[in-house]
Amino acid sequence: MSDNSLPLVISAPEPRTLELIFTPPSLARLRAGYRIVETTDSGIAALPDETLAGACYIIGQPPISGELLARMQSLRCIFNVETNLINNMPYETLFERGIHVVTTGAVFAEPVAELGLALAINLARGIVDADLAFREGKELWGGDGNRTARLISGADVGIIGFGDLGKALNRLLSGFRTRTRVFDPWLPPSMLIEHGVEPASLDEVLSGSDFVFVVASVTSENQGFLGADAFAKMRKGAAFILLSRAGVVDFEALMEAVRSKHIVAASDVFPEEPLGLDHPVRALPGFLRSAHRAGALDVAFKRMGDMVLEDMDLMDRGLPPIRCKRAERETVSRMRSKPVDRN
């Protein structure tokens, strides 16, 4: 097969790179099986008409106008490898033309779930605080160091949101014999029951849980929906673990709930990222902090490339993508997550 007969791919994966999301063998396969045109988000519109007209796939999530999309007559799929579906392209037109928009976000489910479980265990057993006290020669031995400790095993657990991350977290929790209630208004109760969890209202999850994990995406309907009233409904001393996006909580109210010692909390995400050095959460006792690092493992990034290659192979044979998660017509316009600002 000559180079000109290979499917054409526009590569604009920033903030990722091809070297980040593909292993060397997988990247070699990509370059051997496709013509790759590498550019930037802002550079796509300046590509020659011939390149745009022949492009079958886009690896990335660049802004695409209706006019630019009209020049892409061969486009089959956009592979969003940043994983946040943002409102920067004409989704309705994409759907009307049968062009798939897919995300590789599922690769982060297991890494984030593992860190979320670690945060919960730390809140239950005070591991970080005990280590810091030990370093200062102020450690408490035996039972004296466990006055507020508790078990996750057999605990009441609530999960808010039950997508890929919620399911991965539930698999990890199954070994702890927890009673797990889930609130997810986008899923039918039977699907939750099939996963061995109890469908529940938001109030039931908040008031009936020793540990509450928040793994819901930010949408146009749920921004800031977990506020002071929600935290007041939680059991005194319960643990609140935020893993998805800070936009779903009133962060000031969350800090106040921790400051008043009504609950303890942990978060891998924050209202602004990177967080200002003077932000009060940095010095808040009872609040465990992680710098949006839960999913950022090299093994997760490399799985992205494998997923992209497998779905491209399927579409090359006239089949739909299976490995990546497809954006849905009814929900994609509601998504409000945004990438971390690293500038």
Q: What is the pLDDT of residue 197?
A: 98
pLDDT exceeds 60 at position 343: no
Can you give the C-alpha Rg of the chain in angstroms? Answer: 22
Q: What is the pLDDT of residue 294?
A: 95
pTM as predicted: 0.90
Tokens of 97: 């033309």
| Residue 4 per-residue DSSP state | G
pLDDT exceeds 70 at position 35: yes
96-147: pLDDT as tens digits:
999 999 999 999 999 999 999 999 999 999 999 999 999 999 999 999 999 9
SS (H, E, C) 217-284: CCECCCCCCECHHHHHHCCCCCEEEECCCHHHECHHHHHHHHHCCCCEEEECCCCCCCCCCCCHHHHC
Q: What is the pLDDT of residue 86?
A: 82
pLDDT band at 1 (very low <50, low <70, confident <90, very high): very low
pLDDT band at 339 (very low <50, low <70, confident <90, very high): low
Question: At 156, is the secondary structure helix, strand, or coil?
Answer: strand
Lowest mean pLDDT among 82-86, 246-250, 328-332: 328-332
Mean pLDDT, the chain, rounded, equals 93
160-213: pLDDT as tens digits:
999 999 999 999 999 999 999 999 999 999 999 999 999 999 999 999 999 999
Q: What is the pLDDT of residue 225?
A: 87
Q: What is the pLDDT of residue 256?
A: 98
**CA-to-CA separations, 196 to 181, 190, 193, 199, 205, in angstroms, rounded:** 9, 10, 5, 10, 15
pLDDT exceeds 50 at position 91: yes
CB 214 within 8 A of CB 226: yes
